[in-house]
Amino acid sequence: MRTLTDQEKRTIRFASVVLVAGLLLAGGLWSARRLQARRTAYQALLLEAQNVRDEIDRYQDKAQVAQKLIDTFHLDPMTLARTSLVAQASAAIQKASTEAGVAPGPIRESASRGASKEMASIQFEGSGPVAAVMALLYQLERAGCPLIIDSVRLTPDSRRPGSLKVNLTIVILDFEQWKSEGQPSA
Amino acid sequence: MSNFDLLNLPGLFIEICATSWQVSNGDDYLEFPLAHLEDGRLTDSCRDHLVAGLRNLLSKKGWRPRRRAFVAIGARGVSLRRLTLPLAAKEDFQRLLRLQIESEFPLPPDELAWGWQLLGHNSGRQEVLVAAVKKEMLGSCFEIFGACGVSPLFTLAALARNALCPPPLPSCAVLHIGSVESELLLFQDGAPSSIRLLAWGADSNTPLPAGCLNPKAIGGQLYLTGRGARNPAVVARLAQCLGNAAPCPALESGVSEGRSAAIAGLKKLAATGSGAPLLILQSGESGEQAAGVASWKWAAAAVLLLLALLGFPYVEAIALKPHLVKKLATIQADRERLPAIDRELEFLQFLKRSQPPYLDTIYLIAKLAPSGTSFESLSMTRRGDFSVRGKLQNAGQVTEFRSNLIHSAWFSSVVVDEQTPTPDRQVTVRMTAQVKPIDARKPLAVELPPTKPEPATNSAEPPKSAKK
């Protein structure tokens, strides 16, 4: 094989350096582009995480208010069972009546009107001292069921002087209708 | 530029003799005896001893650059030639010199550690002094200096001793008398011409070999260095050999007892800075190369640092992305619960808003009713319909009661539906009203009896009596 001259060696060296530099440059640019793409994706992910976190932070206040209301009403809507809610409400009303000192009378349940997000309504009659009736009105709001007293009628109890007869129409709200309201329609 | 200008630290000078290494570092001066194997190489223990001794002497700090050392080697294995070359440019001169060395020396330049020194120009030609030694002879030295972090610059000890000769230098010779062998450096026209190693020293009992000191070759003067130069008997023997033709002055006047004349010469050149440039033996594996390697290391470190700097913004994206994706998935799972919280809150707020103020209304009615009023029935609805039927003392109380209801800012549309006087001069009355929405109502100021314990309820505390 012919021995290379110095000029040829220099040319080969120069060509090698240029080739390696070119390869390095191309590789560097390719790597830089890939890294930049990854960084951009990461930044987008970071921004998304930040937004989600901000959104969740905003819900902290809502969650606190909800918790306060849960404590006030002794009621956690998420634990309500629709099938047994009317029975639970009836039992809670009678229990509140007994605890307040009101003698329960007839109790009538009727199905609700569908459009008003109500599950049922209960007619309650009872009698007792004034203070007991007031205590009943107070405790019904905190009976652990979603109850709203639709109407109140107080009349003297002719059989027991000093006592009142109380007629209440109580509505039981249906939380399931709130749940389904938030779901997207098909 | 003098070679000594390269030294920016206290001078480190070393002479490598056949039997010892003599090292001068500033004011420190040490001598390391050598132990050789049968093939002439240094023993391992001797090598370790040299490395440890040099390291201890130099006390090298990691941040300091490599120390340069001028190392004077003996004449064993050294060839010294005067070559004449045509005038040429620098690159061509190197090429010419290599070609000349290749033709004059038995080994190719790549296998030699060689150096040159320009002696002068003469009618379009230039005279060059070339010294060369086999690389193998310096191999162990490179290992030792490399282990100590020293970059050696090799020169000939004989040339270094020459610096001690009084100027102007005549045609003469310098004889370094060692214990068992001597080095003879001959000068012609003020420049070194040849170097010889004589198998005769101060401790030799044999006479100087005949013909090795030719008075003609020596010229007018023979300078002496080394241990034997101080020995009158040796000097007398030399004078006898030379036929008392030339005096034999010693160059040891500036050299302490037991110290190296070569190191003294190197120091003298370093101190004056104007001495003739030393002939430095170049080698492919010299300290320059080591320094070059060190420079490359720094360059590589700088490039790495630069790459790290450029890559740092991307490291976070590469390293933390999996963690972030995992965390985001967890957050997204939590996010799906948010609508449920919304619905729950909305439901509870609706429940709260829908609770009619029955107790507050009853409390207000009891408070506003005139004294002596008795109620027969009271009814309210969630939509705010309010009606009451009762008996008041007179018609004036009816008006007063009605006014009180209106001024309480709780009721609107207060209507007296029926007002009937009774035989006992009282008035039976039936009134209806509309309870205002919560936003339009005035907050109640509840007056609690001081003697009673504070009830655990809010303003809707039931009154003790609904009848007055």
Q: Is the pLDDT of residue A34 over 80?
A: yes
Helix %, strand %, coil % for chain A, to 5?
60, 25, 15
pLDDT at A96 (0 to 100): 92
Partner-chain contact B464 A35, CB within 8 Å = no
pLDDT at position B290? 54
pLDDT at residue B455 greater than cutoff 80: no
Of B146-150, B348-352, B412-416, B418-422, where does mean pLDDT reach its minimum?
A: B146-150
Q: With 60 as the cut, is the pLDDT of residue B285 above it?
A: no
Cβ contacts of A128 on chain B, cutoff 8 Å = none
The residues in A 162-181 lying below 8 A from B, measured between CB atoms, are: 164, 171, 173, 175, 178-179, 181
What is the C-alpha separation between B259 and B29, in angstroms, rounded?
8
> Can you tell me which residue has the tokens 């209960």?
A122
Q: What is the mean pLDDT of residues B342-351?
A: 87
State the Cα–Cα distance between residues A47 and B14, nearest whole angstrom: 68
Choice between B287 and A83, residue whose per-residue pLDDT is larger: A83
Give the number of other CB atoms < 10 A from CB of residue A182. Answer: 11
The highest-confidence range among A25-29, B103-107, B312-316, B441-445, by mean pLDDT, is: A25-29
Look-up of token digits 């200096």: B145
- Which residues in chain B are closer than 8 Å to A51, comparing Cβ atoms? none
CB A164 within 8 A of CB A127: yes
Is the Cα dihedral B437, B438, B441, B446 positive or negative? Answer: positive
Residues forming a β-bridge with B285: none
- The pLDDT tens digits of the residues spanning B177-215 come to 887 888 888 888 878 888 888 888 878 777 777 677 777
Mean predicted confidence (pLDDT) in B255-260: 70
Say if residues B46 and B34 touch (Cβ distance below 8 Å). yes
Q: At which residue do the structure tokens 């070119």 appear?
A: A22
When pLDDT is averaged across residues B147-157 and rounded to a whole number, the result is 86
pLDDT at position A115: 61
Helix ranges, B378-425 (H): 395-407
- For chain A, the first-to-last Cα distance in angstroms comes to 82
User: Considering only B144-153, B250-259, B284-293, which range has the smallest mean pLDDT?
Assistant: B284-293
Burial class (CB in 10 A: 0-12, 13-18, 19+), A165: buried
- Which chain A residues touch B341 with a CB distance below 8 Å? 59, 62-63, 66
Distance in angstroms (rounded) separating the CA atoms of residues B95 and B98: 5
Q: How confident is the model at residue B245 (pLDDT cuts 50, 70, 90)?
A: low
Q: What is the pLDDT of residue B8?
A: 47
pLDDT at B451: 59
Q: What is the mean pLDDT of residues B221-250?
A: 73
The 8-class DSSP code of residue B370 comes to P
Convert the pLDDT of each residue in B117-143 to its tens digit.
888 887 778 888 889 988 888 888 888
pLDDT band at residue B1, thresholds of 50, 70 and 90?
Answer: very low
In chain A, which residues have their Cβ closer than 8 Å to the Cβ of B316?
42
Task: Kindly tell me the sign of the dihedral angle through the C-alpha atoms of A121, A126, A131, A136.
Answer: negative
Average pLDDT of span B2-13: 56
Q: Which strand (E) or helix (H) includes residue B195? A: strand B191-198
Within an 8 Å CB–CB cutoff, is residue A53 touching chain B? yes
Does residue A184 surpass a pLDDT of 90?
A: no
Mean pLDDT over all residues of chain B? Answer: 80
Instruction: Tell me which residue has tokens 């349940």.
Output: A109
State residue A14's pLDDT score: 94
Please determine, for the modelled complex, whether the ipTM score is greater than 0.85.
no
pLDDT at B27: 79
Nearest to B378 by CA among A164, A52, A81: A164
**CB atoms closer than 10 angstroms to residue B212:** 14
Say if pTM beats, i.e. exceeds, 0.90. Answer: no
What is the CB neighbour count within 10 angstroms for residue B15? 26
Contacts with A164 from chain B: Cβ below 8 Å: 466
B33-47, B260-274, B310-324, B409-423: the lowest-pLDDT one: B260-274
With 0-12 / 13-18 / 19 or more C-beta atoms within 10 angstroms meaning exposed / middle / buried, residue B283 is: buried
Compute the distance between CA of residue B29 and CA of residue B19 in angstroms, rounded to an integer: 16
Judged on CB neighbours under 10 Å (0-12, 13-18, 19+), B32 is middle
Among B15, B4, B11, smallest CA distance to B25 is for B11
Has residue A54 got a pLDDT over 90?
Answer: no
Decide if pLDDT at B33 tops 80. yes
Alpha carbon of B435: minimum distance to chain A alpha carbons (Å) = 13
Pick the more confident residue, A14 or B438. A14
pLDDT band at A113 (very low <50, low <70, confident <90, very high): low
Q: Would you call B300 exposed, middle or buried from its count of C-beta atoms within 10 A (0-12, 13-18, 19+)?
A: exposed
pLDDT interval class at B462 (50, 70, 90): very low
Q: Copy the structure tokens of residue A55.
A: 């959104």
For residues B361 and B436, what is the distance between their CA atoms, to the nearest angstrom?
Answer: 11
How many other C-beta atoms lie within 10 A of the C-beta of residue B107?
15
Please answer whether residues B79 and B172 qualify as being in contact, where contact means their C-beta atoms are separated by less than 8 angstroms: no
Residue bearing the bigger pLDDT, B258 or B356: B356
Q: Are B94 and B116 in contact (CB under 8 A)?
A: no
pLDDT, greater one: B235 or B465: B235
Closest Cβ–Cβ partner in A38, A59, A75 for B318:
A38
- pLDDT tens for A123-140 read 999 999 999 999 999 999
Task: Tell me the shortest Cα–Cα distance from A12 to chain B, in angstroms.
Answer: 20
> Beta partners for B431?
B388, B416
What is the Cα–Cα distance from B396 to A183, expressed in whole angstroms?
59
Q: What are phi and psi of B226, to 5 degrees?
A: 95, 180
Say yes or no: A82 contacts chain B, CB-CB below 8 A. no
CB contact under 8 A, A69 and B345: yes
Is-contact A16 A24, C-beta < 8 A?
no
